Amino acid sequence: MNCKELPMKFEEISEEEVSRMKVRSGRNSRLVRCTPGNVILPYRFLDLAKTVYNFEFRSDDIVVATFPKSGTVWTAELLWAMTHLDQLHTLDTDHISLRNFFIDRDMLFAPNKDDQSPLVKKFMEKFPEGRMEDGVVLQLAKAETGRRIIKTHLQFQFFNESLLNKSKVVYVARNPKDTCVSYYFFMGQRPGMVMEGGFPSMAEDFMAGKGNFSPYWGHIQQAWELRNHPNLHFMFYEDMKENIIEELQKLSDFLGLDLTFEQLKKVAEATSFDNMRRRDQNQPLVKGTFFRKGTIGDWKNMATPELDAQMDSWIAENTKNLGITFKYA
């Protein structure tokens, strides 16, 4: 396809504004803001934005799109298991990063040829003279000839029309309260992170639309408004936790897989929270604990009554015209 120009603009966020963020990187805190949408992204995205926008999706691709900490990894594992029933035994042997293409990784982690992760090793084997600066995952995904499971936290505007015109997109939304809690604990264990003011300050930043891939409501809205698109399947994390077999059946129908009840049970068991956490302990996805609780309602263990009321008001204001309803317990 012809290389298309970006339909968006970027500006670097000032050091002063970044310094006021309660949760930020202490190593490389440069961020950019994209318009339209006022989306906040790592500065390195500027080097990859045109490549990402011109990434060509295929008719057999399955794309998992979410706001961070909304069930991204779980959903990708479910989809991989559903499309690789004869390979479920490899879940315990192959590293999780090799089963899908998390294209955001290229802007979240600086290129490093000394990186000993399975993903970088695979890249170096496939492209011994390759430029990591051009995107490790993006290049591996482009070179893949089989069916691809692709993950992203980017909003749809950052991709060309082939995303929804060709691929099947599974969007997962998680209630904002538990998303905020999960994001807080995840960011707190990342090396070099600055965390000021504890959870209440993090929650205030979250509601203010500060931090990578924010704002939350803009992310939800762009998918919610497309929920009736024939190539988009909108799911709620809470429904997945409540009745995974029912949600897997909906996914099977959406993807045209025609899986049996027994096959869906095998998928659910193979990708259960306990099994995924066990595998992560043996072959970590990131430094620290990626799978913490995965529950619904952990917000009540973190928020004061005052903060809860503030969050409720924020949710009410942003959902009154959207028409979306979340489960919190």
In-domain check, residue 46 = yes
Please confirm whether the linkage preceding 118 is cis (ω < 30° from 0).
Answer: no
pLDDT of residue 4: 85
- Which single residue is written with the structure tokens 């890249």? 123
Note the Cα 193 to chain centre separation in Å. 19
Handedness of CA 188, 197, 218, 6 (dihedral sign): negative
In-domain check, residue 308 = yes
Kindly report the backbone phi and psi dihedral angles of residue 101, in degrees, each rounded to the nearest multiple of 5, phi listed first: -120, 100
pLDDT exceeds 60 at position 154: yes
In-domain check, residue 325 = no
192 or 119: whose pLDDT is higher?
A: 119
pLDDT of residue 277: 87
pLDDT exceeds 60 at position 291: no
Structurally, the chain folds into a number of domains equal to 1
In-domain check, residue 121 = no
pLDDT of residue 326: 97
184 or 251: whose pLDDT is higher?
A: 251
Handedness of CA 197, 200, 201, 206 (dihedral sign): positive
Helix 261-270 to helix 244-255 angle (10° resolution) is 110
327 or 4: whose pLDDT is higher?
A: 327
Which ranges of the chain does DSSP label H, i.e. alpha helix? Answer: 15-19, 45-53, 72-83, 105-108, 118-126, 136-143, 162-166, 176-188, 198-207, 216-224, 237-242, 244-255, 261-270, 273-282, 305-319
pLDDT of residue 6: 93
Instruction: Check: CB of residue 40 under 8 Å from CB of residue 212.
Output: yes
211 or 233: whose pLDDT is higher?
A: 233
pLDDT exceeds 70 at position 23: yes
In-domain check, residue 133 = no
CA distances in angstroms from 32 to 29, 156, 213, 298, listed in the order given: 10, 17, 10, 31
Instruction: Check: CB of residue 32 under 8 Å from CB of residue 20.
Output: no
pLDDT exceeds 70 at position 289: no
- Specify the range with the lowest mean pLDDT, choosing from 134-143, 162-171, 194-203, 211-220: 194-203
In-domain check, residue 34 = yes
Bridge-based pairing of strands 101-102 and 31-35 is unpaired
Distance, in Å, from the CA atom of 39 to the CA atom of 45, rounded to the nearest integer, reads 12
- Which single residue is written with the structure tokens 């490389």? 28
Q: What's the chain's average pLDDT?
A: 93
pLDDT digits (tens, 9 = 90+) for 62-119: 999 999 999 999 999 999 999 999 999 999 999 999 999 999 999 998 888 889 899 9
- Specify the range with the lowest mean pLDDT, choosing from 35-44, 126-135, 142-151, 184-193: 184-193
Q: How many beta carbons lie within 10 A of that of residue 301, not counting itself?
A: 9
Instruction: Check: CB of residue 32 under 8 Å from CB of residue 11.
Output: yes
Distance, in Å, from the CA atom of 209 to the CA atom of 223, rounded to the nearest integer, reads 17
Instruction: Check: CB of residue 100 under 8 Å from CB of residue 150.
Output: yes
pLDDT band at 214 (very low <50, low <70, confident <90, very high): very high
Domain span at residue 49? 9-108+145-319
In-domain check, residue 178 = yes
In-domain check, residue 250 = yes
pLDDT of residue 292: 57
CATH assignment at residue 313: 3.40.50.300
